[in-house]
Amino acid sequence: MNTASSLKSRLTRAQKQIHCLLEQSGETLTAQAIYQRLKDQQQMLGLATVYRSLRSLQIKGLAQARALPNGEWAYGLTSDDSHYLTCLNCGTSVPVEDCPVHSLEEKLGQSSHFQIFYHTLEFFGLCAPCTGRLEAESP
Amino acid sequence: MNTASSLKSRLTRAQKQIHCLLEQSGETLTAQAIYQRLKDQQQMLGLATVYRSLRSLQIKGLAQARALPNGEWAYGLTSDDSHYLTCLNCGTSVPVEDCPVHSLEEKLGQSSHFQIFYHTLEFFGLCAPCTGRLEAESP
DNA sequence: ACTAATAATGATTATCATTCTCATTCTAGT
DNA sequence: ACTAGAATGAGAATGATAATCATTATTAGT
């Protein structure tokens, strides 16, 4: 039995619910959104438990987080390898298809002493409408 | 004159001070740290102004931000292309030398309608000490 | 099954980085 | 120098997340 699987071993009820929700929804969700959705489907968890469980899932290598421009975090499963291009002005995000990072991740896993669970790769700039707007404002 | 340079055109006093500080320090700094350092060197700016200026510098393509695990943001210049490997348990960060993302960034800049200023690339997992500690705790 | 010990949960409160507000000060163009 | 309009500062407001602690569920040992 390897390290990862022993850490993943037992999940609490709350952790299972959240893992399951992330699996079903397919998209990434904020902690507050997870709280709401569970409440809506009569699986109510305390907000504190949602945060605690998300942290535990991360440490077990099952969940990942990316920071949104507004300061919130979006959570998803580590099996999901999606990345985004985000406008610094309006916050619009569009998905990026390519991901050239896997070979580097493997190399790092061997050379560093870290056990790597996931990576984030995000691009930032201005979307076309915002570029236009900002140029118009500051001639 | 291209889009980027026109946006970068004029910097306010506060924006210049912060840009200069980031240039000198060489490391990335949180907004609160920037506020403190400027105060220490008798260049005091209001906290609101620090935040406003950082946002403006980002939109002008001069500064970039990466989210720290504790919810703060670390700011640096876009000319700095450094990336990190961070422990999900204790927050320790170590720099990653390689960066295989540039060719993708160029390709995206052409195919998407975004004007891309910078990217973040972060790896997350457990450092060796934390892996040991967590295994000891949950046998 | 029963009980003691341990871990998980929920309700509430506290924290703290960031944003908002608005009165004041600076700046650019005339 | 004068006058918009932008920039700034002080302080209050916001809101996501973390901490606290009493209660409930789970586990392990008998």
Residue B132: its pLDDT value, please? 82
- Cβ pair A114, B128 in contact under 8 A: yes
Reported as a single tens digit per residue, the pLDDT across A73-131 is 999 999 998 899 999 988 888 888 888 888 888 888 888 888 899 999 999 999 888 88
Q: Which of B55-59, B100-104, B106-110 has the highest mean pLDDT?
A: B55-59
Residue A6 CA and nucleotide D30 C1' are separated, in Å, by 28
Dihedral over alpha carbons B40, B42, B47, B51 (to 10 degrees): -90
| C-alpha closest to that of A125 among B22, B12, B2, B120 | B120
Whether residue B139 has pLDDT greater than 50: no
Residue B36 CA and nucleotide D18 C1' are separated, in Å, by 24
The verdict on a CB contact (< 8 Å) between B124 and A3 is: no
Structural domains of chain B, ranges and CATH numbers in brackets? 1-80 (1.10.10.10), 81-139 (3.30.1490.190)
Amino acid making up residue B138: S
Say which nucleotide is closest to residue B51, CA to C1' distance: C18
Reported as a single tens digit per residue, the pLDDT across B2-29 is 344 445 568 999 999 999 999 999 999 9
Whether residue B138 has pLDDT greater than 60: no
The verdict on a CB contact (< 8 Å) between B100 and A103 is: yes
Say which nucleotide is closest to residue B50, CA to C1' distance: D8
Reported as a single tens digit per residue, the pLDDT across B51-87 is 999 999 999 999 999 999 899 999 999 999 889 999 9
Which of B6, B94, B122 is nearest residue A135 as measured by Cβ atoms? B6
Total H helices, total E strands in chain A? 6, 6
Q: Where are the beta strands (DSSP E) in chain A?
A: 29-30, 63-67, 73-77, 83-87, 93-96, 115-126
Which of B59, B100, B109 is nearest residue A100 as measured by Cβ atoms? B100
Distance CA(A132)–CA(A137), nearest Å, equals 9
Sign of the four-CA dihedral B68, B60, B23, B48: negative
Which of A122, A128, A134 is nearest residue B113 as measured by Cβ atoms? A128
What are B67's strand-pairing partners? B73
The verdict on a CB contact (< 8 Å) between B126 and A103 is: no
- Cβ pair A104, A118 in contact under 8 A: no
| pLDDT class of A47 with cuts at 50, 70, 90 | very high
Say which nucleotide is closest to residue A138, CA to C1' distance: D6
Distance CA(A100)–CA(B25), nearest Å, equals 31
| pLDDT class of A7 with cuts at 50, 70, 90 | low
Q: Would you tell me the crossing angle of helices A13-25 and A31-40 to the nearest 10 degrees?
A: 100
The shortest C-alpha distance from B37 to chain A (Å) reads 23
The verdict on a CB contact (< 8 Å) between B59 and A88 is: yes
The helix/strand/coil state of A41 is coil
- Does nucleic acid strand C have an atom less than 7 angstroms from the CB of B51? yes
